[in-house]
Amino acid sequence: MSENARYSKRTQGVTGSAIRELFKLTARPGVISFGGGNPSPAALPDDIVSDISRELVATNGKVLLQYGMTEGLPSLREALVPYIEKEFQFKTDANGILPVTGSTQAFNLLLDAYTDPGDVILTENPTFLGATQAMHLHELRVVPVESDDMGLRMDALEDAIRKHRPKLLYTIPTFQNPTGVTMPLERRRKIAELAAKYDLLVAEDDPYHSLRYSGTPLPTIKHFDTADRVAFMGSFSKVISPGLRVGFLVCEPKLLRKCVICKQSDDLHTANLNQAIVEAYLRRDLLSPHVAAVCKRYGEQLDCMLDALSKMQGVRRFTHPEGGLFIFAWLHEGVNATDKLMEAVEKGVAYVPGTYFYPEGGHDSTLRLNFSNSDIPTIQRGMALLDECLKA
Ligand SMILES: Cc1ncc(COP(=O)(O)O)c(C=O)c1O
């Protein structure tokens, strides 16, 4: 038996996240990282979370430190109903919401509950690496669909649905990772229609929705979902703290029940204390002012990075996001962003080569830049280093 044959077929050929590997290389002291998707340290509300935690444990510690229900804290589920209606523009009730351990878990539960090995899943091209990793671990056939500066192309999507008969579409319609682009309203409506027409389940992943710095908020795909074919995933990672690991899933009752069963064997339940902290943010109206302050900071950082990009000769074009955490850029033909990365790290700046986000690889001259995790002087310094490196 070859050494590899010992391990599950599921994990054969699935490499660790390239980004997490790159982190190790780029985590040298002094390297400015535009690589990860971390919130700014200044945006992590440690003081408030510390006060809330102390109070919660003092008043309700015996409940919060005990095992909890897989379905989540009932009081959080109730607090999520008006939040979801206001923020994401669709109606649900407390029983239709499952608090989860980050939206990463929501997606894995959906794949557990809804797919079998060999099923086809459609994605944007490029798409979020964490999601493609989950697809591969579930042994799905990943079919990327042509996407443009407004997200998935509707003609390409309908062709792919007809051709591949997919079980699921995974999409990040708002401030997409890695491109930062946002799908316009008509495409959102059309996706809901296609889902109903072809009995396709849409997994709508929307962790960046509230991080809007310009333009007008758009309704979600779920808003148009009259046939209950959209499973919606939200997250508090980017708006409060990724370390809390709290997100939520909203989908039709039978599918939600199956996800609860899968969650029982996965982690039993999401940490009670963390759910209660998020609930306190919602009930005490702490989230809106926090998000407003974060948006002001990130909006200025985004403008600073866009301004630097517009002056860089080595960059052929780049996206102009209205929110989120990322800008995607195209270098000149023939310039390989992976090759350039080590040179950039030597100079003191890091990014993620775009090729990793394309399920079928290629697109070697692209890269993703994060602007949330560095303050303005750091962005200016890092972009000057990148400019030097790309000019060379
Ligand atoms: C599109 C997308 N979905 C989900 C996640 C992970 O969210 P969570 O921390 O809630 O698991 C990320 C994190 O980068 C992301 O970019």
- pLDDT of 62 > 80? The answer is yes
| Ligand 1 atom 14: residue of nearest CA | 37
Please work out whether the CB of residue 173 comes within 6 Å of at least one atom of ligand 1.
no
Q: How many angstroms is it from 62 CA to the middle of ligand 1?
A: 31
Query: Which residue type, as a one-letter code, is found at position 197?
Result: K
Choose the weakest-confidence range: 13-22, 250-259, 299-308.
13-22
Please work out whether the CB of residue 247 comes within 6 Å of at least one atom of ligand 1.
yes
H/E element holding 389?
helix 376-391
Architecture of domain 3-45+289-391: Alpha-Beta Complex (3.90)
Q: How confident is the model at residue 9 (pLDDT cuts 50, 70, 90)?
A: confident
| Ligand 1 atom 16: residue of nearest CA | 177
Average pLDDT over residues 39-68: 97
Q: How confident is the model at residue 21 (pLDDT cuts 50, 70, 90)?
A: low
The pLDDT of residue 206 is: 98
- pLDDT of 13 > 80? The answer is no
Q: How many angstroms is it from 6 CA to the middle of ligand 1?
A: 31
Architecture of domain 67-284: 3-Layer(aba) Sandwich (3.40)
Q: What is the mean pLDDT of the chain?
A: 95
Q: How many angstroms is it from 39 CA to the middle of ligand 1?
A: 12
Q: How confident is the model at residue 368 (pLDDT cuts 50, 70, 90)?
A: very high
Are 326 and 178 contacting, i.e. CB atoms less than 8 angstroms apart? yes
- pLDDT of 350 > 90? The answer is yes
Q: How far apart are CA 176 and CA 27, in angstroms?
A: 25
Q: How many angstroms is it from 235 CA to the middle of ligand 1?
A: 7
Q: Take residue 73 and report the two structure tokens written for it.
A: 């804290």
Q: How confident is the model at residue 14 (pLDDT cuts 50, 70, 90)?
A: confident
- pLDDT of 285 > 80? The answer is yes
Q: How confident is the model at residue 311 (pLDDT cuts 50, 70, 90)?
A: very high
C-alpha distances (whole Å) from 125 to each of 6, 23, 250, 300 are 33, 23, 25, 28
Pairwise pLDDT comparison (22 vs 359), residue with the higher score: 359
Please work out whether the CB of residue 102 comes within 6 Å of at least one atom of ligand 1.
yes
Neighbours of 323 (CB within 10 A): 21
Choose the weakest-confidence range: 30-44, 187-201, 252-266.
30-44
Residue ranges per structural domain of the chain: 3-45+289-391, 67-284
pTM of the predicted structure, to 2 decimals: 0.96
Are 145 and 121 contacting, i.e. CB atoms less than 8 angstroms apart? no
- pLDDT of 318 > 80? The answer is yes
Please work out whether the CB of residue 237 comes within 6 Å of at least one atom of ligand 1.
yes
